[in-house]
Amino acid sequence: MSSVNAPWSGIGAALPCVDAYGTGTPVLPVARAAEAAGLDHVWVPDHLIFHRPILESVTTLAAVAGATERVGLGFAILNPVLRNVTQLAKQLSSLAVLAPDRLLLGVGLGGEIEAEFVAAGVDKTTRGKRLDEVLELLPRLLAGEQVSFDGHNVVECAGLAPIPDAMPPVIVGGRSPAALARAARVGDAWMPMWMDPSTVADYKAQLAVQAAAVGRPAPGVALVGFVNIGDDVEKCHEQAGELVKRQYAMPYEKVRKWTLVGDVEEVARRIAEYRAAGVDGFSLAFAHPDPLSQVDPLAAVRELALA
């Protein structure tokens, strides 16, 4: 699939599914505002257990689908190995039928929270093989095929219906060599996080070589990042640092250099650097205590950066 005007291209907002401040998760107001402001897509993260309370991704995206009409609906990133693959296929096919041509199937592996895998009854050491199986099985299940499979995932399915008109784009997340190889092999796009433009360009070149080696076109690139748009740069960094500390339980200094901070013009300039490096689309999380207040500034960034 060409990355020009691809469904994941453009600029979208990562929805505030994590209750970092203990004040609730204004997901639907932010989703509606993002659509009204002209953003291209909205995205949800996926964790079973996290550092702070977090909404379940599939049900959240279903609610967002019903609250909006046009905006793309993305997972950034869904960890399918925590779920029964047949049940997941049924949920995804239903979403794709109810919101035609809007679903963006970001998939990958979250590995930093051992308790998630324990709670799901999944051996963490098998997660890579499980994901590769899922990526083989999901297209068949979404197409309504009869599937019998006995591996790390066990499937005995007579065929699901209804069938979506088209398979949603597969966007493979992760920065490891295995993730890059997986994106080259089956992805329509690759979605890294916390990466500078020069590294993105290097990885994109590797991705093109690996995809060509298996007879596929080079996948597009969509980037996950944090943004805080405002005139007071130090205040923006202070707010972003507090959000990262609360949400990820780690020091802000580890990710400060990759956080998009500044006024509309500065953030648009940073976006332009990534676009020049080959990034087609952006899933940007608001590193701000009031995410709704950041929607219109991000829309202004989009207008300037994509002009």
**Residue 147 lies inside a defined structural domain of this protein:** yes
Query: What pLDDT digit, counting tens, does each position of 132-144 carry?
Result: 999 999 999 999 9
**Residue 5 lies inside a defined structural domain of this protein:** no
Cα–Cα separations (whole angstroms), residue 184 to 53, 84, 133, 135, 138: 34, 25, 16, 13, 17
Task: List the domain range (segments joined by +) for residue 39.
Answer: 10-305
Query: For the domain that residue 154 is a member of, what is the CATH number?
Result: 3.20.20.30
pLDDT for res 2: 42
DSSP 251: -
CA-to-CA distance for 31 and 15, rounded, in angstroms?
A: 7
**Residue 252 lies inside a defined structural domain of this protein:** yes
* Mean pLDDT in residue range 54-59: 98
Average pLDDT, the chain: 96
**Residue 4 lies inside a defined structural domain of this protein:** no
**Residue 143 lies inside a defined structural domain of this protein:** yes
Model confidence band, residue 3 (pLDDT cutoffs 50, 70, 90): low
Q: How many domains does the chain have?
A: 1
CA-to-CA distance for 6 and 106, rounded, in angstroms?
A: 14
pLDDT for res 111: 73
Query: What pLDDT digit, counting tens, does each position of 72-82 carry?
Result: 999 999 999 99
Query: What pLDDT digit, counting tens, does each position of 59-68 carry?
Result: 999 999 999 9
**Residue 123 lies inside a defined structural domain of this protein:** yes
pLDDT for res 4: 57
**Residue 203 lies inside a defined structural domain of this protein:** yes
Other C-beta atoms closer than 10 Å to the C-beta of 234 total 9
**Residue 54 lies inside a defined structural domain of this protein:** yes
Q: Name which of 111-120, 208-217, 268-277 the model is least confident about.
A: 111-120
